[in-house]
Structure 1
Amino acid sequence: MRLTCPLCGPRDRREFHYLGAEEYLRRPAAEAASAAWDDYLHNRDNPAGETRDLWYHEAGCGQWLLVTRDTVSHDIRKVELVATLKGGAK
């Protein structure tokens, strides 16, 4: 799989570190019940279709990217710099 970094151009996915779906940023509150934290840390959806994932360009420009991709066809639909998104990765 190749990702097109907005700053560096097309790159092999091995240059990037995958964090996961953007929902990963939505942490429970510090005082949340242990069940909420357990769910946040250990349970992930495995969707078929379009996802929005966070990737870090570790071997390149060092930017966080929001990648919109299809997990069935492996089609990369959009790559955006998280730093330029209005309101963050929402």
Structure 2
Amino acid sequence: MRSTRRRTLAAAVAAITLLTLAGCSAKGSEPFKDAPRSSKDNGQPADLVRMPDGFSNVGTKCDHGNRLYVAYHGDSPYAAIAVVADDPTCN
């Protein structure tokens, strides 16, 4: 009896822990939990480069003649940003 109770309790704790952790990784679906902003550019979609698992993905987009690159890795809370000023491929 005691062994069954322990297993049930362990399974319940594992399920609660899993649900809690799953609810904490919603970076991609949480809208704009970042610094205040003055506008939003939905005019043209960003180009996405999806890398194999284990490597960071890249998003690129032109902004006022400058090309922006943002590297991100799934829902991880970090990213890298690079800017190419006056990129000739940006109109």
TM-score higher than 0.5 = no
With a CA cutoff of 8 Å and minimum separation of 6, indicate the structure with the bigger relative contact order: 1
For normalisation by structure 1, the TM-score amounts to 0.35
Larger Rg: 2
Greater strand percent: which structure? 1
